[in-house]
Each structure stands twice: as structure tokens, then as C-alpha cells.
Structure 1
């Protein structure tokens, strides 16, 4: 199996187009055409993780965080990033990062947190914008079912909890081919007028090439008439953060103790108690201070995230309980999820969970 084959599987799990614009996801080092000897899955591709990969004969590292985040002008080994990259390149090890591509997935980082905390009735906290497109095309009635089904099979027509969604309307189409044309109906130079069906379907933007391939392959016209629009609709199943509910409401102190145990946190920094019981809980793995207002607007009783600064705790304003459980802790189960996913997809291949604890924060 080549590394690019495993990358294709990873991108089924977390399409790179799900990632935030600021992020650096995908293949960071190495040649995707190399044969894979084994996959080591980690949280951070540090130098000691590279050593582990060498020891375990894995030439492909799948990391949650990207070790290479911002641009480098020199690679001299002066810091931990450069040393890790040098060691990976010397040992011909490829590194791939998923990061916010998995953050934004409905079964990704935040759903993993919700599952760990026993939350139900979950939904995306900040649905992703500018991700839905719409295809409009026209065909003869005899071609409608075949074409529409091909578009569905390519991934079009999925809306929330529904699939195979489309809208069709009937109209009158006209055309006249020139001397170079080869019309499916009529002759060169003939003015043709006939019934046509207009088909409209939405799709996620990362599927555009696949959708167009299906359109051209299953349309009967020599020249396929189609239009693609970018929609302003928010995608309810892709986005940052998640909100759900506990089975039973809990006192604030009991809730924090439960979170500490479930997420194996070394400690929790939190805002002042509100005096209300906790039932509705918002979560956002990693640095989530930007979403405090979203958690409040969603009616959350508590918001669990990481990397909150001193003044940001004031933003709770007595409306909810803010809990900073630590960056690593909020994402700690992510690498396990990736391993489980890959093992189901390629069960007879070496998929190894890194034993290295790369959390840089320590607690007394």
C-alpha cells in the first residue's frame, strides 16, 4: 500500500476542505508515492515521536497537530520544529496532519468530547459558512432518473439528516447546432424545441470535481448546460464546537469533577459559579475563547474548552460556567479515534498508536 492510498482514506474521514483557512493540514513532509511500511498515529509529531516511528518501522506519521504550521526560511535544527523535520526527512518519514479538518467534522474532535462526557442530542455550535454549492442542469425527460441518480451517487443531494434531495421542474428548451455540432436530438442547423427537465441539487464544495464528472458521464447532450452557485446557507453538520445535554442536571462542582475525571485533566480553571445546575453543555476542543459568545447564545449552562486568558473568564458574565481543561486534555482521545478509523478501513496493515505523551503542560 502506498502512502497516498492511506491519505485517500484519511481524507474520507476528514476532507482537507473542512479545515480552517489559517491551518496547515495534509501532507507536510515526504513522498506520497512511497510504499508505506506502517502508520504511527500521534498528537504532535515531535522529535521523540519520529524516533518512535523509526523504532517501530513506520514511515508514515499521522499527527493531529501540524508540526509545520508557519513558514520556515531556514532549517538548521535550532528549535523543536526544525529538529523534528530534519529527523523525519533524514529517515524518509512522511508526516500528515488532520487538525481542523477533523475539528470541523460532525464525528470529530468535539463529538469525541461529547461522547466522553455522556452528552446526547448534540449539534454543531458554529456551523460552517460558504461550504454549500448548488448545481443546476437541464436534460430531456428520458435522461432524468439516470442523471439524477448519478449525481446522488457522487454525493449530491445530502441535506442534514436527509439524502437524495433534489428539485425538478419542467420547461421548454431550444437549441440549434452549427456545422461542427453532433446533437443527440435533431440535426446540424436544425432549430430544436422540446421538453426539458431542470434538475437542482446541493453539494459540499469539496465534491465539485466528482459531481461534474458524474454530470458529464451520464448526460446525453454533447454540450452540457449547467450552472454552479455558491450558497450562503450554513452547513449544519460541519463546523467548530458542539453543544449537547447531560442525561441529568448536575451541580456545578460535581460537573467539574466529572469533567476532570472523564477528560483526565490535571486541573480545571473555571469562572465563578453561577448557582445554576448544569444541563446543556457546549464544548470546543483546543483554543476556544472565540466561541464564548456562541455558547452563551446557544443557551449553554457550561462551556468546556482550553487556552482561556485571564480577562476572558469575565466574559461568562454570570450567564454560564467557563471551564478551561487544558489544550491537550480537550483533544486527548482524538488519536485513538484516528487509529480506530484506520484499523477498520485497513485491518491487515500496521496501524500503531503512539506511546509518547506530547503534552507540554505539566501539573504539580
Structure 2
């Protein structure tokens, strides 16, 4: 097994195409073709994590947060980022980061928070835009079924809970090949009319390269006529944040106690209590102040996130209870999620959960 084999599994869970534009995700350090000796999963990559990887003979660190976020112009060891990268390179250790790709995954960071809080009826809070594309192509009528099957096999035609979705219209295509053409229907230099099927099929944007490759491989024409367009439709399975419901309503104080216990946090900063029952809960791991208005619009009673500033609490406006559990605390279960996922995917290889607490915030 090589490093790329693990990456392939991780990108099934959280395709990098859905990471935010500002982010730096993927293989940040190392050789994707290196023979794998072990996988260490962590929230952050610090020098102590690299040391742990060395001691446990792991040459791949899977980290939620990217150690390289901004461009590095020098590697002199003057700060912790440079020291981590230098030590990883020196010891032939690869570093792979998922960050907002996993934030936007249906079974990612926010789903893990919902599961920890035992929430039901989960939905994406802010669906990501421009994630659905549509292929339209034209194929000889007697080849339409085979082409559809080939496209379905690589992930096209899936809409929510339905698969093998397409729309088909029968008609006639015309063409006249020049002297250098090699037509599979008709003859070069002669006008030809062919009974064709127009196939329209949607697919998630991260599969575009695979869809086009499959189309050209399965289509019999020398020149394949096709169109790809990006749709404005909301994708309810990709996006940041999540909303769910408690089995039973709680008072605000009881919920805050419940939240403190479940999230294993020493303190919760929150907005004014509204003296009402809470049932619908919105969550967004990491810094989530940008989503406060979305949580109001979703009708949530509580919004759980981190890194709220002084003025952010005013935006609750007595409409929602804001609960800041801490950045590390909101994402702490992410590494457990990744270990469980990779262990199921790679049954003959040990996936190791880092024992190092990387939380830089301490409480007195």
C-alpha cells in the first residue's frame, strides 16, 4: 500500500473540490507514491505530532488543519510551521490535510457534532453553491442504454436518494465527414442522418474528469458532441454547518449543561438566555460567526460554534441562543471520525489515533 491509496479513500469521504477557495488542502508534504508504513491521525500537525509519528513508525500524518496555510518562502526553522515541515521532510513523513473539504462533507465534522449530541433529522445548514453539473450528449439510439450504464457506473445520475437518473429525447442527428474523417456511422464525404438519443444527466462537480473520460471511452463517434453546464440548484448533501433536533425539548440551562458534558469543554460562552425550550440545534465546527443569520433563518433555537467575538453575541438579537464551546472542542472528535472511517476502509492496516492533545488554549 502506498500513501496515495489512503488519500483515495479520504477523498471519497471528502472530495477536495468542495474545500473553500481560501483553504490549503490535500497532500502538503511528502511523496504520494511512498510505501506506507503507518497512518497517524490528528487534529493539528505540530512538532510533537511528527515525533509521535516517528516513534510509532508512521510515514503519513492525516491532519484536519493544514500546517501550511500561507505560502512559505523560506525553510529556516524560525517558526513552528517551518520546523514541522523541515522535520517531516527530514524523516520522510507525508502530511495530508482535509480541513474545509471535511467541513463541507455530509458525514464530516458537523455530522460528528450532531451525532455526539444525539440529534435527529439532520440537514445541511448552508448548502454549497455550484456543486452540481449537467452533461448533455447525443448518441446513436441503439447505443444509448450502454452509454447511460457506463455513466451511471462512475457516479453520474445520482440525485439525493435516487440513482440512475437521466432524461432522454429521441431525434435525428446529421453530419458530413470531410476527407480526413473516420466516421463510425455513414461514410466520409457523404451527408448522413442518424437516429440518436439526446441524454441529459447530472453529476457532482468533483467527478467531471471521470465523467468526460467515460463519455469518450464509451461513445462510438469519432467526434463526440457534448455540453457541460454548472447548475444553480442547491445541493442538500454538500455544505457547511448542520441542523438537527433533540428527541425532547430542554430548558436552556439544562441544554447548556448537557452540551458542556457532551463536548467535554471547561466553559461555554453564550448569549443571553431567552427563557424558552430548545429543540432545534444548529452546529458549525470551528469559526462560525458568518453563519449566525443562516441559523436564524433555519429556525434554530441554539447555534453551537466557536471563536465568536464580542459583537457577534449582539447579533443573537434575542432570537437565538449562541453557544461558543471553543475551537478545539468543536472539532475534537474529527480525528475519531477519520480513524473509524479509515479502519473500515483499510482493514489490514493499523490506523493510529494520535494521543497528543494539540489544543493551544488553556483554562485557569
Aligned to 1:305: 305
Aligned to 2:270: 270
| Superposition pairs of residues 211-222 of structure 1, within 5 angstroms | 211-222=211-222
For 1:22 and 1:318, the matched residues in 2 are separated by 32
For 1:88 and 1:195, the matched residues in 2 are separated by 60
Aligned to 1:98: 98
Aligned to 1:290: 290
Q: Name the SS for the 2:237 alignment partner.
A: strand
Q: Name the SS for the 1:355 alignment partner.
A: coil
Q: Name the SS for the 1:236 alignment partner.
A: coil
For 1:194 and 1:92, the matched residues in 2 are separated by 58
Range with greater deviation from structure 2 (209-218 or 101-110)? 209-218
For 1:292 and 1:167, the matched residues in 2 are separated by 39
| Superposition pairs of residues 51-62 of structure 1, within 5 angstroms | 51-62=51-62
For 1:30 and 1:219, the matched residues in 2 are separated by 38
Q: Name the SS for the 2:296 alignment partner.
A: helix
Aligned to 2:114: 114
For 1:276 and 1:200, the matched residues in 2 are separated by 49
Shift of 1:74: 2.0
For residues 311-351 of structure 1, the C-alpha deviation after alignment (integer angstroms, 9 at most, x for no partner) is 10000000010000001111111101111111111111121
For 2:151 and 2:18, the matched residues in 1 are separated by 21
TM-score (norm 2): 0.98
For 1:266 and 1:174, the matched residues in 2 are separated by 71
Q: Name the SS for the 1:246 alignment partner.
A: strand
Q: Name the SS for the 2:82 alignment partner.
A: helix
Contact 2:157 2:165 in 1 (8 A): yes
Aligned to 2:171: 171
For residues 84-123 of structure 1, the C-alpha deviation after alignment (integer angstroms, 9 at most, x for no partner) is 1121111111100011111000000000000110111111
- Does 1:135 find its partner at 2:126? no
Q: Name the SS for the 1:133 alignment partner.
A: strand
For residues 4-54 of structure 1, the C-alpha deviation after alignment (integer angstroms, 9 at most, x for no partner) is 121111111211111101011001111111111100001101000110000
For 2:355 and 2:282, the matched residues in 1 are separated by 30
For 1:25 and 1:194, the matched residues in 2 are separated by 47
Aligned-CA RMSD value: 1.0
For 2:127 and 2:294, the matched residues in 1 are separated by 11
Aligned residues: 364
Contact 2:13 2:107 in 1 (8 A): no
For 2:280 and 2:162, the matched residues in 1 are separated by 26
Aligned to 1:358: 358
Shift of 1:195: 2.0
Range with greater deviation from structure 2 (102-111 or 342-351)? 342-351
For residues 217-257 of structure 1, the C-alpha deviation after alignment (integer angstroms, 9 at most, x for no partner) is 11121211101111122211100000011111110000111
| Superposition pairs of residues 1-364 of structure 1, within 5 angstroms | 1-364=1-364
Shift of 1:62: 0.4
Shift of 1:179: 1.4
For residues 171-190 of structure 1, the C-alpha deviation after alignment (integer angstroms, 9 at most, x for no partner) is 22111111122222211112
Which 4+ residue blocks in structure 1 deviate beyond 3 angstroms?
none
For 1:67 and 1:266, the matched residues in 2 are separated by 26
Q: Name the SS for the 2:305 alignment partner.
A: strand
For 2:74 and 2:266, the matched residues in 1 are separated by 36
For residues 117-140 of structure 1, the C-alpha deviation after alignment (integer angstroms, 9 at most, x for no partner) is 011111100000011111000012
For 1:246 and 1:77, the matched residues in 2 are separated by 48
For 1:39 and 1:97, the matched residues in 2 are separated by 13
Shift of 1:63: 0.4
For residues 52-80 of structure 1, the C-alpha deviation after alignment (integer angstroms, 9 at most, x for no partner) is 00000111100010011111222222222
Shift of 1:153: 0.8
For 1:81 and 1:266, the matched residues in 2 are separated by 28
For 1:267 and 1:78, the matched residues in 2 are separated by 34
Shift of 1:194: 2.9
TM-score (norm 1): 0.98
5+ unaligned residues in a row in structure 1: which ranges? none
Q: Name the SS for the 1:237 alignment partner.
A: coil
